[in-house]
Amino acid sequence: MKPSPYTLLLLLLALLIQAACAASSQPPSQKVQRLPLQRSEVVLKSPAQYEKRALSYDSQTGLPSKSYDHKPRIEVVDEKAGKYAFKWIGYDGEEKIVEYQRADAIDVVISASVTKTPDGQYLYVYKVDNLPSSGTYLSRFIPQNFATDTKPVEVDGKATTIRDISSLKAFREAPSDGKPRSLEDIHIGQMSSDIQQFKDGNWINFATLPRFQPQVVPGRSFEVKLVSAAPPGLVGCRITGGEMTLQGVGEGIPSELDNLIPGYEELPRGYTVGPRDNLKVLTATEHAKYLLDLLPQMQKFGWITDASLRWYKQHLERNDFNAVLKRAEQDLKSEQITTEVFAMIQAMNH
């Protein structure tokens, strides 16, 4: 018995619906998306306990002979902007207020690209995007490197001179190029290795001065260019948001409040690529092993898709360098890897 035209129509509709449902259940094509730098987990709150403040001391015992309740406390002024007020009653009986700016009231995504110059150097270009969700402007960008010759050559579109970079350890004794400072509103300095957060490698601090205009407010970006003979590898980076200087009020901040001010651990932190001298001497096989070990971190940073990670893992383990180099060009165009991953893969050819 032949099915009726009505039955055939119902079967056709059912097949079409099934096909549509199957297509809609397929996950969308995955693309890379860099993650913002990680904010600190520092919590600012008033001291739960404190001693009264001494006004005078007994000459015999050295103990306070007269004291008063100075009521030290921390109040939120603008949580999104990271602004707080440190308050207490001063020695003169008047309320004292010191404004404090958190360093991490800022959301930033950093992207880095690397190209070879005609003279065989690597040119590193960093773009620091201050996201619209930020509460303040970008005030410092601090990338790490592990090369002795890392040289800033351009900051926010302006070429540097020797005088601009003379605070860096590698260029303190460099002969003058006869040119005056080019960057009057940006300071380039080196973070001290005595600071725990900056003890490894070299950290270059690009700090915008108060007169820097236009400020890198939410929605704007900041660009830095470096050159080095060292190939790109994974390095750290830090940033700060807002003005970090505390304004004095005629007397010191009580110790109960001063002890609550965070140190450099408050700076947002993340990773990028930068010069690494140790990569110069690696064979292609050793370089492949270096990349293999970094693949899980790259995935965590949003630099490589899940499918691409599996493919590169398989082919790097086989030392299939030509296939990896060819695939990297395709994956960069289709946004399966970021420019950071592409740069490190290309460096296998150094």
Q: Is residue 41 part of a domain?
A: no
Mean pLDDT within 273-280 = 97
Angle at 205 between CA 199 and CA 208, to 5 degrees: 155
Alpha-carbon span 47 to 86, nearest angstrom: 11
**Is pLDDT above 50 for 271?**
yes
Q: Is residue 308 part of a domain?
A: yes
Beta strand 108-116 with 95-101 is unpaired
Phi, psi dihedrals of residue 263, rounded to the nearest 5°: -95, -145
Q: What is the pLDDT of residue 245?
A: 78
Q: What is the pLDDT of residue 337?
A: 98
Mean pLDDT within 168-195 = 94
Q: What is the pLDDT of residue 26?
A: 37
Give the tokens for residue 121.
Answer: 């150097």
**Is pLDDT above 60 for 177?**
yes
pLDDT digits (tens, 9 = 90+) for 117-130: 999 999 999 999 99
pLDDT digits (tens, 9 = 90+) for 216-267: 999 999 999 999 999 999 999 999 999 987 887 889 899 999 999 999 999 9
Contact 161, 179 (CB under 8 A): yes
Q: Is residue 312 part of a domain?
A: yes
Q: Name the domain count of the chain.
A: 1
Q: Is residue 298 part of a domain?
A: yes
Q: Is residue 167 part of a domain?
A: no
Q: What is the pLDDT of residue 148?
A: 94
pLDDT digits (tens, 9 = 90+) for 3-54: 555 554 445 555 545 544 444 333 446 899 999 999 999 999 999 999 999 9
Contact 230, 275 (CB under 8 A): yes
Sheet holding 95-101, edge to edge: 73-78, 83-89, 95-101
Q: Is residue 327 part of a domain?
A: yes
- 259 burial class (0-12, 13-18, 19+ CB within 10 angstroms)? exposed
Q: Is residue 315 part of a domain?
A: yes
pLDDT averaged over every residue in the chain: 91
Q: Is residue 132 part of a domain?
A: no
Beta strand 53-57 with 186-190 is unpaired
340-345, long-range: CB < 8 A, 24+ apart = 340/111, 340/112, 340/232, 340/272, 340/273, 340/298, 340/301, 340/303, 341/298, 341/303, 341/304, 343/112, 343/113, 343/114, 343/232, 343/273, 344/232, 344/233, 344/234, 344/273, 344/291, 344/294, 345/291
Angle between helices 321-333 and 284-301 (to 10 degrees): 30
pLDDT digits (tens, 9 = 90+) for 186-217: 999 999 999 999 999 999 999 999 899 999 99
- Domain assignment of residue 326, given as a range: 282-350
